[in-house]
Amino acid sequence: MIGIIGAMDIEVNGIIEKMTDKKSETISSTVYTSGKISGKDCVVAKCGIGKVNAAVAAQTMILKYNPDMIINTGIGGSTSLKTHIGYVVIAENVVQHDMDTTALGDEPATLFLPEENIVYIPCDKDLIQKLETACKAVGENKYIIGTVATGDKFISGNENRSALNQKFNALACEMEGGSIGQVCYLNHIPFAVLRSVSDSMSDEDDAVEYSTFSKSAAEKSIKIICSFFEI
């Protein structure tokens, strides 16, 4: 069973449309659609924007559907001059940039888990490789593997974007992947994050870029995820 989580309709509807034998149920106000893509069992959830929504959806998916893996997919913002609009970022690891107890002497973005403290949560290496293969299968050569930063804030302005790159070496930012990663890490579920860049480090207005390119960016991530099912 492959679990897919996206925050918005534009990030998951195209995947759900590819499914056969579909069944849907609503748990904690989140709709989970299960079925098959390319003959493989899957479940897709639109979690809503933000870390708490994403964490609730991920934990519920694990308890209810027992997926073998979870992929968080969708769009994100660039935090590097290496990632322009239309580029794809495959997460090597995720970091929650808004977790901050540095006033107590802790490292920035430290997560306090039951058995350890950690900053970067690693994504599954096999899933990273398969997503890379999926990119190549659809002719997508503008992809890069690296850190994705998560926080409950839309990051705008080149200064703020650059700060995430300098502090965490982040290539992209978004609002769900790090919390999904934390839930999967605690449950020992392999996970991955795929983000197509919709807004970048440029002189253009970030909100305008997002509004202009979010749909096409989401379509690119959907195309790659659908290719993933054929690997």
- Which residue of the set 140, 176, 199, 206 is catalytic? 199
Residue 11 annotated to the active site: yes
Per-residue pLDDT of the chain (231 residues; tens, 9 = 90+): 999 999 999 999 999 999 999 999 999 999 999 999 999 999 999 999 999 999 999 999 999 999 999 999 999 999 998 998 999 999 999 999 999 999 999 999 999 999 999 999 999 999 999 999 999 999 999 999 999 999 999 999 999 999 999 999 999 999 999 999 999 999 999 999 999 999 888 877 778 788 888 999 999 999 999 999 999
- Which residue of the set 11, 176, 206, 209 is catalytic? 11
Of 223, 178, 166, the C-alpha closest to 196 is: 223
Residue 116 annotated to the active site: no
